[in-house]
Amino acid sequence: MNRSIIHLNIADFAAAVESNLQPSLKGYPLIIAPFGAPRAVVYDMSEEAYKEGIRKGMPLTRAKRLNKKIKILPPHFNRYEQVMKDLLKETFAYTPLSESGTTDGHIFLDVTGSGRLFGPSVNVAFKLKKTFKKTFNFDPVWSVATNKLVAKVATRMVKPIGEYIVAPGEEKAFLAPLPVQLIPGLAKTELTKLCEFNLLYVSQARTLTLEQLKIPFHQRAPLIYDRIRGIDPAPVTQFYETQSIIRADHEFADDTNNATLLKKALYLLIEKLCKTLRDRKLTAAAAKIILLYSDGLQRSSKSKLTPSTSNDMALFKKCVPLLYKAWTRRVRIRHMRLTCEKLSLQNMQKELFFDRTKEVKQTGLILTMDKIRAKFGRNSIKTGLTLIDES
């Protein structure tokens, strides 16, 4: 059976959210970009700003030269994330197989088995479009295809408003005349290399065999070979699979590149997440740090945790190298996010022949601190690192 995948895309999502909160902005050029950063770049912009030549990633100083009176708002990532969660809830009425980005306005739904209940996938897409318009005042573009890759390309073809249906068997013909830049999942270096070979369109790139693609692209060749042919077996991730994570955020009062302050913020995030893990009797087997720089760019670093843990001190020891791995620029940092992933129940059976003296002492100390805070308040006891004055 052919899959039936719906892709909903709210164009210029951040700008759309801000315009809903301030209706007076609608119909006018709008830029979403951080304030006060000498190297700030455009995070998002409205369709009106796009028509004036402004693009994502463009230096804010250049965007201002294009339109000196243009309205500029700072990004509110927590706000966009919450709106995405609210949108995703609306899709559960049709399928549990719903997947969304964190703050990008993209939602995929697998409605392959929903036909008898809700009718053709096209009807489901149209109903969701009406719901988004009525409930949230968003007007998404949508597409229906047999996989996520083709569905995403189809919405790119009709953005900022419209719909597109790619019937089963039409994937290769649909992609053939398109520029290779429209194919998701290809790195910039790979697109540059294809252009150097004068392979500007998908139909041209398809003339290369898999063996020929392996010469310049090595292990990435099979993926590129499939993508330019519209082959994408990736499933739509179920909602509960994306929720097996917890996260915490720290917004700096002043953008900083002070290592001590960054470590303090990291430890505070770890304390918060580890307390949540202990309360739920869970441990985390992976951690991820995301740094948002003052110019709007992000960098992230992720690592497995072996063994999995909910110990503040053990997690901090693992996360400090992650911090330095993500901290690769001289630009000041505005926001830090820590995510604990691959959560599982605590292992009650410990290893018999392993010296856990240090770990036992740390765990006992942390549990004692939990009890003190529960009785006298969160600020009743602190670690030395968190006492550092940020001023």
The pLDDT assigned to 359 comes to: 62
Give the whole-angstrom CA distance, residue 240 versus residue 138: 25
Give the whole-angstrom CA distance, residue 323 versus residue 291: 8
| pLDDT per position as a tens digit, 141-191 | 999 999 999 999 999 999 888 999 999 999 999 999 999 999 998 888 999
Least confident range of 61-70, 119-128, 372-381:
372-381
For the chain, what is the mean pLDDT? 86
The pLDDT assigned to 243 comes to: 55
The pLDDT assigned to 227 comes to: 94
For residues 326-341, one letter each, b for 16 or more C-beta atoms within 10 angstroms of the residue's C-beta and e for the rest, the string is bbeeebbbbbbbbbbb
| pLDDT per position as a tens digit, 79-136 | 898 899 899 999 999 998 998 877 888 999 999 988 888 999 999 999 999 999 999 9
Residues 166 and 174 sit within 8 Å (Cβ to Cβ):
yes
- Say yes or no to pLDDT of 246 above 90: no
* Nearest to 341, CA basis, from 248, 265, 236, 237: 248
Instruction: Report the pLDDT averaged over residues 327-337.
Output: 88
Every domain of the chain with CATH number 3.30.70.270 lies at 1-168
The pLDDT assigned to 357 comes to: 59
Band of residue 298 on the pLDDT scale cut at 50, 70, 90: confident
Overall fold of domain 1-168: Alpha-Beta Plaits (3.30.70)
Number of C-beta neighbours around residue 316 at 10 A = 19
Interacting residues of 359 by C-beta distance below 8 A, sequence separation 6+: 311, 314
- Say yes or no to pLDDT of 241 above 50: no
* Nearest to 74, CA basis, from 27, 26, 41, 52: 41
Residue 55 to residues 12, 36, 48, 141, 338, Cα–Cα distance (Å): 11, 19, 11, 20, 29
Instruction: Report the pLDDT averaged over residues 42-53.
Output: 92
Interacting residues of 114 by C-beta distance below 8 A, sequence separation 6+: 94, 95, 121, 124
Least confident range of 57-71, 125-139, 237-251:
237-251
| pTM over cut 0.75 | no
- Say yes or no to pLDDT of 6 above 90: yes
Q: Which residue has the higher pLDDT, 69 or 347?
A: 69
- Say yes or no to pLDDT of 349 above 70: no
Q: Hey, which residues does 245 pair with through a beta bridge?
A: none
Q: Which residue has the higher pLDDT, 360 or 122?
A: 122
Band of residue 353 on the pLDDT scale cut at 50, 70, 90: very low
Band of residue 24 on the pLDDT scale cut at 50, 70, 90: very high
Q: Which residue has the higher pLDDT, 331 or 205?
A: 205
The pLDDT assigned to 385 comes to: 65
Band of residue 346 on the pLDDT scale cut at 50, 70, 90: low
Least confident range of 78-82, 85-89, 205-209, 353-357:
353-357
Residues 369 and 274 sit within 8 Å (Cβ to Cβ):
no
Every domain of the chain with CATH number 3.30.1490.100 lies at 244-387
φ, ψ (nearest 5 deg) of residue 66: -70, -35
The pLDDT assigned to 310 comes to: 86
Which top CATH class is 244-387?
Answer: alpha beta
The pLDDT assigned to 369 comes to: 75
The pLDDT assigned to 31 comes to: 94
The pLDDT assigned to 386 comes to: 66
